[in-house]
Amino acid sequence: MITRVNVATVWVLDKDEALDFYVNRLGLEKSADIRQGDYRWLTVRVPGDAGIEISLEEPGPPIQDEATGAQLRELITKGAMGSLVLQTNDIVGLYETLKSRGVTDFTQEPTANFYGTDMGIRDPFGNPIRVLQRAKAAQRATV
């Protein structure tokens, strides 16, 4: 039986720039940062949560050949890759914090829905990120 998600990967165009965005702007924390020769295993996570890690990975060699890497980079910048969905306990506060940290690529302002209030952001490369504050009823239902 599978018991939990351990690592999920977000493809980025540049690991340093990704680290700056995901940590200094979005507010995640750096987890693993291990170099092995030319390769850098870099992950971030929700602060204090040693469970799920988000691996920041660059397309191209040695993971893929140059041409495949170029295709992937093109898809990332078109916004065609999958979405990361995060949770917060204060969506409006986070929205204001992100703006004060210079985040401008909002795809949706905080919007109320029956399941909670959520907003959309893009990382510097085009990857979509959603952040949700669950509605109280929905929170109770899953506790």
Partner 1 sequence: MSREVEDRNRRLLRARDAMDRAYAEPLDVRAVAAVAHVSAAHFSRSFRAVFGETPHRYLQRRRVERSMFLLRETDRSVTDICLDVGFTSLGTFSRTFREIVGETPSAYRSGHGPIVAPNCVQMLAMRPLGAAGAAMRSRESAMGSSSFGEAGAAAVP
The stretch among 15-23, 31-39, 95-103, 108-116 that binds partner 1 (CB under 8 A) is: 108-116
| Residue with Cβ nearer partner 1 (25 or 130) | 130
110: contact with partner 1 by CB under 8 A? no
Q: What's the min distance (Å) between Cβ of 83 and partner 1?
A: 8
Query: Distance (Å, rounded) from C-alpha 36 to C-alpha 108?
Result: 39
In terms of Cα–Cα distance, which of 95, 93, 139, 90 is closest to 115?
139
Beta pairing, strands 84-87 & 128-134: parallel
68: contact with partner 1 by CB under 8 A? no
Torsion of CA 101, 131, 89, 18, to 10 degrees: -40
What are the residues binding partner 1 (CB under 8 A)? Answer: 13, 70, 73-74, 76-79, 83, 105-109, 111, 113, 115, 118, 120, 122, 125-126, 130
